[in-house]
Structure 1
């Protein structure tokens, strides 16, 4: 996975298309990322001593890596990431 924690990404598919944010966490074994301020879901809480009212909270959910693209803050546009390899000549 080429997207790392702390990178800026833009969503290219799903309900938050066009929005940008910073990657908070990555799950490499699932190929998912959590982006700051995007893909909110409601989590329902049962009544307990810590939360006597119960209710529901908004929480950021993970987005699949294929639905986000690296965003270059310097150039103000999305970029494709590449890997380059250098071959060493044997002597």
Structure 2
């Protein structure tokens, strides 16, 4: 367990749990997203270099999310995706 999880009182799942690996992958996505948000908050005025850094961070997040999707091993129902899109 890392110190951030301990400070947030976040339970660490049992290694025998079916979603153990996926949970860790998703938690890494969560941490990386927090880093990107903190970076944005610290920027007073955007420029080409900050935009590029954010693009890179969000690209890496998209790859990580795709890996989570593959780890979940389920098929995605198109109606479910439509419902998610309409909910925005």
Check whether TM > 0.5.
Answer: no
User: Given the two structures, how large is their TM-score scaled by the length of structure 2?
Assistant: 0.21
More helix per residue: 2
User: Given the two structures, how large is their TM-score scaled by the length of structure 1?
Assistant: 0.20
Decide which structure has the larger Cα Rg and report it.
1
